[in-house]
Each structure stands twice: as C-alpha cells, then as structure tokens.
Amino acid sequence: SIDISTLTKQTGYTALDQGFVNTASTRSAITFIDGDKGILRYRGYAIEDVAKNSTFLEVAWLLIYGELPSASELAEFDERIRRHTLLHEDLRRFFDALPHNAHPMSVLSSAVSALSTYYEDSLDVHDPEQVEISTIRLLAKLPVIAAYAHKKSLGQAFLYPDNSLSFVDNFLKLNFGTMAEPFEVNPVLTKALDRLLILHEDHEQNASTSTVRLVGSTEANIFASVSAGINALYGPLHGGANEAVLRMLSEIQDSGEGVKKFVERVKNKEDGIRLMGFGHRVYKSFDPRAKLVKESADEVLESLGVQDPLLDIAKELEQVALADDYFIERKLYPNVDFYTGVIYKAMGFPTRMFTVLFAIGRLPGWIANWREMNEDPRTKIGRPQQLFTGSPARDWPSR
C-alpha cells in the first residue's frame, strides 16, 4: 500500500478516487474483511464463531476494548448499561414535538443529537472517563429511543425500561409490551434478534462508520458523531436497503409480474431499479453475514409458525439472479440486508423500523471506531481534496 499523503507532497499530484474505491482513510485494528474470500473477523474472531457463541453485549465489549471480557467484566458492563437506560423526562417529551408519522430513522438521529444537550458533563473528547460514560449512555439509551420512535408511530404509550430484563428482552418489551398486559419473554425472538444485532455490529470503513470518523476527526463529541452516522446509514444504498428489500418483495408479490420478469427489468436498468439487498463494494464472492441471516430466516419463521410468501420470493430471486450472467459478471451476491427484513417482519417490526434495528446493531462498531480514531495520535482532521472543474478566474462584469 502507498501513503498517498506523502506521495502527494513529493509529486504535487492529487489522486481522484470517486467513492473511495481504493483509498484507505485510516489504519484500524478492529475488523478484518477479505471480500474475495468472503471472510469477516471481529478482532481476529471469525464472524461464524462470534455469531454462534457470543451475545450482543459481549461482542460490543470485544469491539470497543479489543479483547473478550472476563465473566465479571461482562457482568459489570451489563449492569452499568442497565443503570443508564432511563431517558431524561424532558427528552421523553421531545418526541411530542415530532409528527407521529415521522420516519423513525429521523427521530433516532435527532434524539441522539439531542443527547449532547443533556450530557454536557461528558462531551470532552480528551477525557477518557467522559468518553467512557458517553459510551455507556449511548449503548443504554439508543434502544430506548428507538423503541419510543416505534411506539410514537403506533400512537401507543411509552413504557419505562425494565432493568430486570436483558439488553435484548428490554428492547423487545419496550417495542411490543403494553401498559395493559404483562410482557412475556419469547426466547426464540431473543436469540434471533441478538444474533442479527451481532451480525451488524461492525463492518470496517463503510459509509456510516466513515462518517462517524470524519465528524469525530473534527473533535466533535461522540453523540454528534454517532448522530451523523445514523443519518448516513439511513440511505437505501446503505442501511436503508433492508427496508427497500421488503418493499421490493412486496411490490413483486402485489404486481404478480413474477420474479423472472422483475430480474429482467433490473438487468435492463428500467427506471434505474436495482435488486435491493444485492451487491457490495467489498464482497465479491459472498457476504458471510448473508449466509448466516438466511439460516436464521428459516429457523425463526419456523419457530414462530410464520409462513411468509415474501421469503419464498426472496429465495427465488436469489436463485434466478445467481444463475444469471448479469449478476455473475458483476459479482453481485445477496448482502446482509437481503433476508433480514423478512425476519424483522416475522418478529412484528414495521418496515420503517428495519434500518433502526441496523443502527442499534452497528452502534458498538461506531463507538469502537470513534474511540480508536480519538485515541490515535496520528489522527488528522478529515479533509478530502477536490479536482476543480469550474470556471477559470474571470473579470467581474461591469453593470
């Protein structure tokens, strides 16, 4: 690899790399990807092992602190997060100011941005203790904010967090519990959601993580940086793809046009449509997360007793696309988002909550990257160059 900044100084040339296809913006020790071989590792551990053996909070610790926690470290981490789940009452009322049909991703980024107004005591990026307490606050409060965004869209009362429950069960209760009836934990849902969250926890320098780093490189606080990351995740070419996949599957079902015809329209680039949930900038043989999610889709739907024709459409789409030269030549395979929507739907989440679930999953990766950037003395403010294509200097017209 070449250090472009040194080369630029030596030669005076500027490298143009639209979309950062071949430019590393940072060194990182957190996540490793080999896109040709379909390998993903968190801190050296294969994603398949992590997903099988761990829990969301344990992986969050691994990503943020670099090693697996001891049993007591994990218990203390879990306990600290439980103690910080409550939102300030004024922040609960903040939701009243937003329209009930607001997209939950906009609600999420706004409320996370607002966190920095409540916690001015922990915004100093140079104080490790303040960074630590902000980390805990974010991990504890993001799921609560997300669930309130969901409840608001339903017009239902917000529940207070139940800190006797695990991280995932608390989140499920805040989303699906009501004031009227006691909440029953469903271990199938708990396990499935925990696994999906693990699979989303980090993915090196994707668009949202790069955004978190770029904003953080200005020494903006972690709430501001994560809020920016949430906005970057919102787009349909990134995290918003899980929502777009479900809409695509429903449209195929409703139109009755059939999978093959739809794929033909994609290949002809009719109206610029893409096969959502397919293709990846880095993975060129398969996305290992997609394989694991597909296994979960069958398991979860079966254990919940849900039969969803959209899952059959998704499987047929995958089969047709993987046998087609258009997709083979361009190395387009299902990505992590292809099957997640079907599972989230079976769990009872509305489509507009799908990307919010991705954001909760990705939070530890954003925090780990922000902290790695913040602790690295080589970090410089992110400031890309441009190649100017406008008018040369000209005289102001006399009028």
Q: Which is nearer to ligand ACO, 9 or 269 (CB)?
A: 269
Contact with ligand ACO (CB under 6 A) among 91, 123, 275, 363: 275
Q: Is 339 in the site for ligand ACO (CB under 6 A)?
A: no
Q: Is 284 in the site for ligand ACO (CB under 6 A)?
A: no
Stretch that binds ligand ACO, among 40-48, 92-100, 161-169, 331-339 (CB under 6 A): 331-339
**Shortest separation between residue 13's beta carbon and ligand ACO, angstroms:** 24
Q: Is 24 in the site for ligand ACO (CB under 6 A)?
A: no
Q: Which is nearer to ligand ACO, 95 or 262 (CB)?
A: 262
Q: Is 335 in the site for ligand ACO (CB under 6 A)?
A: yes
Length of the chain (residues): 399
Q: Which is nearer to ligand ACO, 118 or 326 (CB)?
A: 326
Q: Is 266 in the site for ligand ACO (CB under 6 A)?
A: yes
Q: Is 328 in the site for ligand ACO (CB under 6 A)?
A: no
DSSP for 104-162 reads HHHHHHHHHHHHHHH-GGG--TT-HHHHHHHHHHHHHHHHHHHHHHHHHHHTPPPPPP-
Contact with ligand ACO (CB under 6 A) among 87, 220, 332, 357: 332
Stretch that binds ligand ACO, among 22-30, 249-257, 328-336, 381-389 (CB under 6 A): 328-336
Q: What is the number of other CB atoms lying within 10 angstroms of the CB of residue 158?
A: 16
Q: Is 140 in the site for ligand ACO (CB under 6 A)?
A: no
Q: For CA atoms 3, 5, 9, 15, give the dihedral sign.
A: positive
Cα separation, 339 vs 233, whole angstroms: 18
- Catalytic site positions: 280, 337
Cα separation, 353 vs 357, whole angstroms: 6
Contact with ligand ACO (CB under 6 A) among 123, 142, 212, 336: 336
Q: Which is nearer to ligand ACO, 86 or 207 (CB)?
A: 207
Give Cβ neighbours of residue 299 (< 8 Å, ≥ 6 apart): 192
- Of residues 217-256, those binding ligand ACO (CB under 6 A): 237-239, 241
**Shortest separation between residue 16's beta carbon and ligand ACO, angstroms:** 15
On whether the CB atoms of residues 104 and 149 are closer than 8 A, the answer is: yes
Q: Is 360 in the site for ligand ACO (CB under 6 A)?
A: no
Q: Is 40 in the site for ligand ACO (CB under 6 A)?
A: no
| Structure token digits, residue 234 | 């919102």
Cα separation, 396 vs 262, whole angstroms: 54
Residue whose entry in the numeric block shows the structure tokens 């092992």: 49
**Shortest separation between residue 231's beta carbon and ligand ACO, angstroms:** 14
Applying CB under 6 A, the site for ligand ACO has a residue count of 20
On whether the CB atoms of residues 223 and 119 are closer than 8 A, the answer is: yes
Contact with ligand ACO (CB under 6 A) among 103, 152, 195, 280: 280
Q: Which is nearer to ligand ACO, 169 or 337 (CB)?
A: 337
Q: CA angle, 296 as apex, 291 and 299 as ends, to 5°?
A: 135
Give Cβ neighbours of residue 45 (< 8 Å, ≥ 6 apart): 62
Can you say how many angstroms the Cα of residue 111 is from the centroid of all Cα atoms in its chain? 17
Q: Is 289 in the site for ligand ACO (CB under 6 A)?
A: no
Contact with ligand ACO (CB under 6 A) among 277, 288, 361, 364: 277
DSSP, res 181: S
Helix, strand, coil % in the chain, rounded to nearest 5: 60, 5, 35
Which residue ranges make up the site for ligand ACO (CB under 6 A)?
Answer: 19, 206, 237-239, 241, 266, 274-281, 330, 332, 335-337
